[in-house]
Structure formats: structure tokens, C-alpha cells
Chains A and B, each alone.
Chain A
Amino acid sequence: NAGVTQTPKFQVLKTGQSMTLQCAQDMNHNSMYWYRQDPGMGLRLIYYSASEGTTDKGEVPNGYNVSRLNKREFSLRLESAAPSQTSVYFCASSEPWTSGRVGEQYFGPGTRLTVT
């Protein structure tokens, strides 16, 4: 039981390059999330997927797109990377709030992205 896995762990991009961050969970969770973590700002929600087939914008969606490929996988794409997207990106998953486990999210180890 690996929990939430993310690839890659580290990435360096040049401005304007594109890349996709991969996330997978093996806990059969319906909901998945992408956050970015910047010093002093906590974690900010980029996009989330309440269930397979649905995605919604979070607090900071500009410059990103997502795909909920199936129940297990939720990818984050940067189409044209900018230095402002230098950050640590975390994927998380959870059961739906109706399960009673409100707010209990399980996080992956993160991807450290640098855009030069």
C-alpha cells in the first residue's frame, strides 16, 4: 500500500517549457487535489477533483491544467512554465466529505520544481 505517489521528485525547467506532474493513489479515494507550497504562504489549492470525471479550479489555477485520468490518477500540467511557478507541488487524496472523514487528506511526498 504505497498511499499517494508523485513523479518526478525534482525538476528544473526553463521558462516556456512544458511538463506534467503525475500523481496516483491506491486508497480508492474519490477526491484528489493539487497544491503548491511557497514559504510563508502555506499550501494553496490549484485544482481539485471531487470524483472521477470532474475537476474544478482552486485558489490559484492560472497557468495550470489538470486531468483526472481515472479514479487513481490525477495529473497537473504546466503548459508554459514561468519563474513564478517555482514551488513545491503536493498531490493529496481523500474520501468524500459525506464519509464522515471530513478534511482528512493524504499527501504525497511532493515535487520540487524550479523554473529558470
Chain B
Amino acid sequence: AQSVTQLGSHVSVSEGALVLLRCNYSSSVPPYLFWYVQYPNQGLQLLLKYTSAATLVKGINGFEAEFKKSETSFHLTKPSAHMSDAAEYFCAVTKAAGNKLTFGGGTRVLVKP
């Protein structure tokens, strides 16, 4: 069975500082990995995804994530936080055969002025 672990349920960053959200996965086969973002009182939307084409993946709003097979990680970063980045972020995994996603517990990001 595949699973996803997000370290830290809450992260607080200052505006302009680096955002780093951690995600580790366990999977018996090479997975597809995703980051979704949920703004307050909204549904989730796809931020970026890894599908084995390139280990460094760029997404919307300046976010990027790096797939590291040796560390079974897919951490999300943004060089400079903006107030509009305040949201909850979910890492997710799926296998090729099927489209069901398994989500991590989520990390809520607070951005301080």
C-alpha cells in the first residue's frame, strides 16, 4: 500500500522568506506525486505534479518540488513567501494503474507580515 507523510501540520513563515513543506512517500513502485493547495473555504486545486519526466517540477505561483528517489521525498519550496500563499497544502500519491489519490495529512501555512 502507498502512503504519504507530511512533516509539520502547521508552518509559519515571514513574508519574503523561504517556504519549505516536507513530504515523504512510501510506495512499492515508482509513484506519481502531487501537491495540491486549498485556500480558505475552497476546494483543492493542483499546484504541481511529478510524473517521471523531470525530477525538478515547477508549478503555479512560483512553487516547485524536487523528487528524490533515494530519500523517498517530494518537498515543496517557494523562495519568497507572499501573503496570498496562506493556505493548506496537501501532498498526494497515485500509481499509474488507476487515478485514485492518497493524501497526506496536510500542512497549513501562515504568512506573517
Q: Is A104 an interface residue (CB 8 A)?
A: yes
Contacts A42-B90, A42-B106, A43-B90; is A90 near B42 (CB within 8 Å)? Answer: no
CA gap between A4 and B34 in the complex, in Å: 20
B105, A103: Cβ atoms closer than 8 Å:
no
The residue of chain B having its C-beta at the shortest distance from the C-beta of A58 within the complex is: B100
Contacts A42-B90, A104-B49; is A97 near B43 (CB within 8 Å)? Answer: no
A97, B44: Cβ atoms closer than 8 Å:
no
Contacts of A105 in B (CB 8 A): 44, 46, 99, 101
Contacts A40-B106, A42-B90, A42-B103; is A97 near B45 (CB within 8 Å)? Answer: no
CA gap between A114 and B100 in the complex, in Å: 26
**Interface flags, B20-44, vs A, CB<8A=1, else 0:** 0000000000001010000001111
CA gap between A97 and B92 in the complex, in Å: 15
B106, A97: Cβ atoms closer than 8 Å:
no
Closest Cβ of chain A to B91, distance in Å, is 9
Count chain B residues whose beta carbon lies closer than 8 angstroms to a beta carbon of A: 27
Interface positions, chain A 11-42, Cβ under 8 Å from B, are 31, 33, 40-42
Binding site for B on A (CB under 8 A): 4, 31, 33, 40-45, 48, 50, 58, 90, 92, 94, 96-97, 102-110
Instruction: Report 6 cross-chain contacts, Cβ distance below 8 Å, ordered by A residue.
Output: A40-B106, A102-B51, A102-B99, A103-B49, A109-B42, A110-B42
Contacts of B113 in A (CB 8 A): none
The 5 lowest CB-CB distance pairs between A and B, nearest first, are A107-B43, A42-B103, A97-B99, A43-B103, A107-B44
Of the candidates B6, B9, B32, B100, the one having the most CB atoms from chain A within 10 angstroms of its own CB is: B100
Of the candidates B6, B44, B46, B98, the one having the most CB atoms from chain A within 10 angstroms of its own CB is: B44
**Interface flags, B36-69, vs A, CB<8A=1, else 0:** 0000011111100101000000000000000000
CA gap between A104 and B101 in the complex, in Å: 9
